[in-house]
Amino acid sequence: MQRSNEYGHDEKVQGGCGLFGIINVKRKLVPGSVIIDAISVLHDRGNGLGGGFAAYGIYPEYKDYYAFHVMYENKEAIAPTEAYLAQFFNVTYHEQIPTRVTKAIQAHPLFYRYFVQPKEEAKALLPNKDENDFVVGKVMYINENITDAFVVSSGKNMGAFKGVGYPEEIAEFFKLEGYKACSWTAHNRFPTNTKGWWGGAHPFTLLDWAIVHNGEISSYGINKRFLEMYGYKLTMLTDTEVITYLFDLLVRRFGFDFRTAALVLASPFWKNIDAMPGEERKVLTALRMLYGSALLNGPFAVILSHNRGFVGLSDRIKLRPMVAAQVGDYYYLSSEESAIRKINPSLDRVWFPKAGEPVIIDFEQE
């Protein structure tokens, strides 16, 4: 689905992007000011065409409800969207997301949030009665069929905040200094193949998955066709959407752990697989044969955040940078070590993940 670009620039710029993630594994809440300080160090990796954040643990009073952040490009889109939500969900509470007038952002869409639970009678119409599949279907319907409405995020106890601007400007617009989260990711964007518009900024989300991405996926076409076989609607025309949905398919629907999913998405080259010991070679060969259409080609570094933790992954040659660090209960992923040291100069450990090697950080059990 083609999207208008009333709020930003039209230039296509090839470039870098900046990623940052912070997580406290004991679920201690981190103020929004911390992630804002960190991503500001990566300012020159963007050009004002996109910035965004994903935050987890921000809605404890509604933690059992799906938190729909919805962007409206005009007021006329509100009524049909709310009528559609009321048809399939019990809406416990909704409001306009607080924003402020800023010097950098003069024109912008409207943003609302809705805390919802699927209606049992509506969910019962699904053959497998899977609640997450039900929510995914409704999110994709809104994004594909309701003009000028777009679901920015739809997970429990989390939300995405994004738009056209540098991330510091987006944070100011959404008043993110007033939020506290146990996990944050942030993105500073150079749009590569799509225009800079509010819905096209990162993170890209589905349920509680949120992806921030640096790079370009040249396998977009085959990845898209693979996902469409499983009912995914790809309306954003961007490779980051593909990565988000592939994680959803492999981990949530197929039941893969994150390490196995990484072996599918950033599979070793055939020559390396052929040189592996017997059992390992058999497993990698089977994954590559069965799920070759899910392989991500091209340069990329991604941070996937979710309600159980987060995952960092770079391509199998590591053409985009990623550094990891840890101090006590805090873990960090970033495009540059300087951003980590801006907020925590004294680190217990710093490492540079190998190509295709996932960094998997889980919250401790409550």
What are the tokens at 61? 């009073």
SS (H, E, C) the chain: CCCCCCCCCCCCCCCCCEEEEEEECCCCCEEHHHHHHHHHCCHHHCCCCCEEEEEECCCHHHCCCEEEEEEECCHHHHHHHHHHHHHHEEEEEEEECCCCCCCCCCCCCEEEEEEEEECHHHHCCCCCCCHHHHHHHHHHHHHHHCCCEEEEECCECEEEEEECCCHHHHHHHCCHHHCEECEEEEEECCCCCCCCCHHHCCCEEECCEEEEEEECCCCHHHHHHHHHCCCCCCCCCCHHHHHHHHHHHHHHHCCCCHHHHHHHHCCCCHHHHHCCCHHHHHHHHHHHHHHHHHCCCCCEEEEEEECCEEEEEECCCCCCCCEEEEECCEEEEECCHHHHHHHCCCCCEEECCCCCCCEEEECCCC
Asked whether the beta carbons of 296 and 315 are under 8 A apart, the reply is yes
For Cα atoms 19, 220, 185, give the angle at the middle one, nearest 5 degrees. 20
Distance CA 329, CA 175 (A): 26
- Known catalytic residues are 17
Please identify which residue in the block is written with the tokens 């609640």: 131
- How many other CB atoms are found less than 10 A from the CB of residue 361? 21
Edge-first strand order for the sheet with 110-118 is 89-96, 110-118, 66-72, 149-153
